[in-house]
Amino acid sequence: MVSDLVQVPRGVAVIEAALVTMPLSPGVYRMLDAKGDALYVGKARSLKKRVASYTQIARLPERLWRMVSDTVSMEIVTTHTEAEALLLEANLIKRLKPRFNIVLRDDKSYPWLMLTEDHAFPQIAKFRGSQNPRRSYWGPFASAWAVNQTVTAMQRVFLLRSCADTVFNNRSRPCLLYQIRRCSAPCVGRIEPADYAALVTQAKAFLAGKEAAVQQELATEMEAAAGKLEFERAAAVRDRIRALTHVQGTGVINPNSVTDADVIAAWQVAGQTCVQVFFIRGSRNNGNRAFFPSHARGEEAGEVLAAFVAQFYDDKPPPALLLLSHALPEQALVAEALTIKAQSFGRRAKIEIAVPKRGEKAAVVQHAATNAREALERKLAETAGNAKLLEATAELFGLPAAPGRIEVYDNSHIMGAHAYGVMIVSGHEGFDKSQYRKFSIRGPMAPGDDFAMMREMLERRFGCALKENPDPDAPPPNWPDLVLIDGGAGQLSAARAALADIGAHDVKLVAIAKGPDRDAGREWFHSEGKPAFQLPPRDPVLYFLQRLRDEAHRFAITTHRAGRSKALVTSELDEISGIGPGRKRSLLNHFGSARGVKQAGLQDLENAPGISRETARRVYGHFHPGWRMEDATSRTTATPGPVAPRAGNPSAVTAAEVCRGFETPE
C-alpha cells in the first residue's frame, strides 16, 4: 500500500503532462505500464476533459486508483466522431486485452453457410474465413454442428450439391447423395440448369425467412405434376414438402416475429457475468453460445453488455436488430457505431437496439437469460469443485499452493511416421484450450523413440520460454506449477534430463503410467524424491488426473490423425517450387489428376489456363529430371536447318521452336 501511495502522484504527473498537448476532439486513449503494456483503453467525446478526470484521485474507485498508480505513459488516437472512437476502443481492447478493461475473451471464428453463386451449379457448404463478394453467405452460426444441420436440411429440401468443384468436375456417375435423394446430381446432367437455378432461388427464399411462400410454391408444383399424371415427380416434391415441414418450427426457439436478430442476455452471480448470445436468422435459431467476459466485480450488467457488444461485432457484421436483456449506458451511441460497422461490410440497414418488455421478443430474451443463468451456475459449480481438486493435487505432490497452471504432454505416431507431440493446459477454471500447443516432431530420431520425442517437445517449449523471458530473475510468463507426462520412470528421467540441459530446474515433474494390466484406475505415479505409488480406485484426485491425461491423449490422437490425413491428400505438385494452391487447382481441374499433369507434354502444360510458360517449364522439368532446355534445343527435328539466332543473344530460342517436333525426351 505504501508503494501505491508513492506511485499515485507519479501517475497523476504523467497524466497531467499528457493533458498539456491533448486535444478536445473525440478519440481513444491508452494508459501504459512500465513494460509498455496497455493497462486501460478508453474512448471519449472530448479527450482532454475525459482524461482530466483521472487526476482527481479522491473521486476515483479503487480499481481506477490502482490503474493510475501503475501508469507510466499515455498514448492517444483522435477520431472524427465518438462512434468511430467506440469502434476503435473495442478493436484495441480485443487485441491488447488490458488488465483494467472489461475484456471479451473470444478468439474463435464463426461458421457461415455459403452458396457459390459464381458457379453454373452453385454449391451449398459450410465456410469459415474471408468472404468472397461473388458468393452469398448466411450466418453466423453458433457452432459447426448448427451449420451442418442446416446444410443437411438444405440438401433434403432443395437437393443442392455439397461436393467441391474438383469432385463435381470429375464425376462420371451420380454419388450416394443422389441415391438417398439429397442431391439432384447436376454433375452428370440429371437436372437441367434452369431447373437447378429454380432450386437455388427457392433455397435463397427459404434462408431469407420466406418458408410459407416456398411451401406454397412446392404445393402448387406437386398438384400440377399429379394433374399431369407424373406421379413419381409429384411424390418427389411431396417428400421435399415433408422435409421442409420438419425443419420449420415456431415458439420461443424459432420466433415468428423476429426475422434477423441477435438475442443477447446477461446474468450476474458472485461478481461474475455470463453473456448468452442466440443467433436468429430467417426466423430460425442458428444456435447459441455462452461467454464469460473478464471484468471487475463491481461492474453492472449494462456496462458489461455495452463492452461485450462493441467487442463482439469488431470482426463480424451485426444484424439489423439486437434484443438485449439490459439497457446500455450509451445505447444510441452503440447503435450508431454498429451501423458504421455494418456499412463496412456492405450493409446499409440501420442497426436497432431494443430491450423488449412484453410479447414474443421479451420471451426470447427471457429464454436467453435463463440459459445464461444456467451456464453461469454450471461454471461456478465446476470452478468450486476444481478448486478443491487442485488443493488436493498440491497436497499429493508436495506443492506449496494449489497449481494455477498444469501442463500435460503426450505424443502420437505410427512407427515413428507422422509424429506429433501436444501440450494441454488446465487451471482454476478447467481446460484452457487457447493455451493448447501442437509440436510437429522434427527429429532426427529412431522410429518410435518416445523418449526423444518427449525430449524435443520439452526443449522447444521451455527453451523458448527461457530465451524470451524479459526478466531472468523471475519465472517466464505462463510458467507451469506442475507438469504431467504420459509414461513411467524412463519418461520421467528423460524429461528431467532434457529440462536440466536447458536450465529449467524449478519445474515439478510427475509421470503417469498404467500398470501391467493397462487398466484405468490402477495408474502408477512417479515423481522425484519419492517412490512410485498408486491412489485408491475411487479417489477424486485420481479421476481428476486421469481426465487430464485422457484429454492430452485425445488431443494427441486427433492432431496425429489430422496430420496423417493431410499427408495422404498431398501430391507431387506440392513439391514443385512456385506451385501454390491456386495453380495446383488450375492444373488438377484441367488435367483431372496429378497423374494427368505428370503425363502431359510441355505444350499441353503451357496451354493450361492460368499457367505461364515459365511455370509450365518448371512443372515439366520436375517430372522429367533429365530434361533441360539445352537438350530440347539440340533434339528439335521439326524445323529444317539451323534456327536463326536472336539479336544480342545468338543461342536464344522461343518455347514454340523448342517444342516443335519434340514430344518426350529420352
Q: Are 74 and 29 in contact (CB under 8 A)?
A: yes
Half-sphere exposure of 584 (CA within 13 A, CB side): 14
Nearest CA among 531, 549, 546, 450 for reference residue 498: 450
CATH topology of domain 2-96: GIY-YIG endonuclease (3.40.1440)
CA geometry: angle at 608 spanning 604 and 610, to 5°? Answer: 150
Q: Do domains 2-96 and 261-377 have the same CATH topology?
A: no
pLDDT the model gives residue 26 = 92
DSSP collapsed to 3 states, 317-367: CCCCEEEECCCCCCHHHHHHHHHHHHHHCCCCCCCEEECCCCHHHHHHHHH
Cβ burial of 286 (10 Å; 0-12, 13-18, 19+) is buried
Which CATH number is 261-377 given?
A: 3.30.420
Map out the domains of the chain as residue ranges. Answer: 2-96, 112-247, 261-377, 405-566, 572-659
Rounded distance between C-alpha atoms, residue 218 and residue 222, angstroms = 6
Q: Write the DSSP string, 103-118.
A: B--------EEEE-TT
Least Cα distance to 282 among 335, 213, 341 occurs for: 213
- Which residues neighbour 540 within 8 Å (Cβ) at sequence distance 6 or greater? 389, 392
Structure pTM? 0.62
Q: Distance between CA atoms of 328 and 625, rounded to whole angstroms?
A: 68
The owner of cell 502420437 is 412
Question: Does the N-terminal peptide bond of residue 140 adopt cis geometry, omega within 30 degrees of 0?
Answer: yes
Tally of CB atoms within 10 A around 209: 17
Question: In angstroms, rounded to a whole number, what is the distance separating the alpha carbons of residues 440 and 149?
Answer: 33
In the prediction, which pLDDT does 520 show? 58
Could you give the CA distance from residue 197 to residue 184 in angstroms, rounded to a whole number? 12
Rounded to 10 degrees, the C-alpha dihedral 220/221/225/226 comes to -40
Q: Domain 572-659: give its CATH architecture.
A: Orthogonal Bundle (1.10)
pLDDT at site 326: 93
Coil, strand or helix at 292: coil
pLDDT at residue 405, as a whole number: 93
**Rounded CA gap, 44 and 333, in Å?**
12
Are 313 and 291 contacting, i.e. CB atoms less than 8 angstroms apart?
no
Query: Which sign does the torsion angle of CA 466, 470, 471, 476 carry?
Result: negative
Q: Which CATH number fits domain 405-566: 3.90.550.10, 1.10.10.10, 3.30.420.340, 3.30.460.80?
A: 3.30.420.340
Mean pLDDT by 10 residues, the chain (666 residues): 54 88 91 89 91 86 86 90 89 87 75 87 87 83 79 82 87 88 89 90 79 74 76 73 57 64 90 90 81 86 91 87 92 91 82 90 90 86 83 91 92 77 89 88 74 87 84 81 89 88 87 70 82 85 89 89 69 73 78 78 83 84 70 41 39 37 36
